[in-house]
Amino acid sequence: MDIDEQKPINKSSLSEFLLLEFSEVWEIKLLYFGALLIVYLTTAAGNILIIAGIISDYHLHTPMYFFLMNLAIQDVGQVSVIFPKSMANSLMNTRSISYCGCVAQVFFYTFFVASDFSLLTVMAYDRYVAICNPLQYEVVMNRQACLQMLTAVVVINLFYGVLHTGGTFAPSFCSNVVNQFFCELPHLLKLVCSDLYLVEVGAIFLSAMVLFGCFIFIIVTYVHIFTTVMRMPSIQTRQKAFSTCLPHLTVCSIFVVTGLLAYLKPTSNSPTDPDLALAMIYSIVPPLINPVIYSMRNKEIKNAVRTLLSLSPSSKSLIK
């Protein structure tokens, strides 16, 4: 029976959703649990090291690293919203998530992903001011301005999360079977019976326009940045500028490419292995790769993490 022909499920009687299983074979479920656990712990540990390294090194208490630290916090939140529940389901041989749990997943995942891209946009502006207008950097990117930008990111994206969560769960559902391993907006919208889902579709379209505008802003900003960098007479200065810009630009590219691959592809009524693999890629790759990119391309982050892990001479030995 098609979803359109099914009767709406009474919200008071809808207590849970059924998520997509990785496999029906218990041994394979355990294998997925182990793989997800390793990836999740690696992602969380990498981002937490970035956070701890920036906090512990006062040389990194600058606007660029302040926003990078908050980006790492958002990445930890993003993977923590969906992967622990998926791992628990695999381990306990179940596929259910409570109605409230699904609502929470949609809200927090939307909030963290939107905050990620908002912070990447703010970081592009920070690099623009630092490289293209260095004499005004301390005035423009002062402590109060950074806190105001972060507050704006949090408040706007909290509202953004509420908007999409309300638009998704306001209509009645014809089914509680979600063809995804977490409560993802496109798959939930396919379960809606009434035309009220068009409100959420409209909100998604407007959001896409805003995100596209942010992406264009980042591209234009980096055109100005690279134009300025190429005019610098000193090779060392150019290398230092590139070392702070290339990681950010790489992270932006990965975020946008994986997101476009996931959301521009039409959702299928029956789950397929490529659909599941793609969902895994865009939900885990950006948070996993971000700390790797920044630690590989940024000497300051490398030194801070090494000092934190006691892999370099301690401050006491340096004083001597």
User: pLDDT by residue (tens digit) across 223-242?
Assistant: 898 888 888 877 777 777 77
Residue 292 located in a structural domain: yes
Nearest 5°: the CA angle 49, 52, 56 is 135
CA-to-CA distance for 198 and 189, rounded, in angstroms? 9
Least confident stretch, 53-57, 128-132, 174-178, 200-204: 200-204
Is residue 203 in some structural domain? yes
pLDDT digits (tens, 9 = 90+) for 154-193: 999 999 999 889 888 888 888 888 888 899 888 888 888 8
Q: Is residue 269 in a domain?
A: yes
* CATH value at residue 281: 1.20.1070.10
Which amino acid, 174?
A: C
Identify the CA nearest to 174 among candidates 187, 201, 194, 192: 192
Domains identified in the chain, total number: 1
pLDDT of residue 313: 45
**1 occurs within a structural domain:** no
Q: Enumerate residues 6+ apart whose C-beta is below 8 A from 53.
A: 60, 301, 304, 305, 307, 308
* Eight-class DSSP state of 95: -
Stronger pLDDT, 102 or 212, i.e. the higher one: 102
288 within a domain of the structure (yes/no) = yes
Does 132 reside within a domain? yes
CA gap 108, 110 in Å, rounded? 5
Domain span holding position 39: 11-314
Neighbours of 161 (CB within 10 A): 20
In a domain, residue 77? The reply is: yes
Task: Calculate mean pLDDT across residues 130-147.
Answer: 91
Please indicate, yes or no, if residue 5 is contained in any of the structural domains.
Answer: no
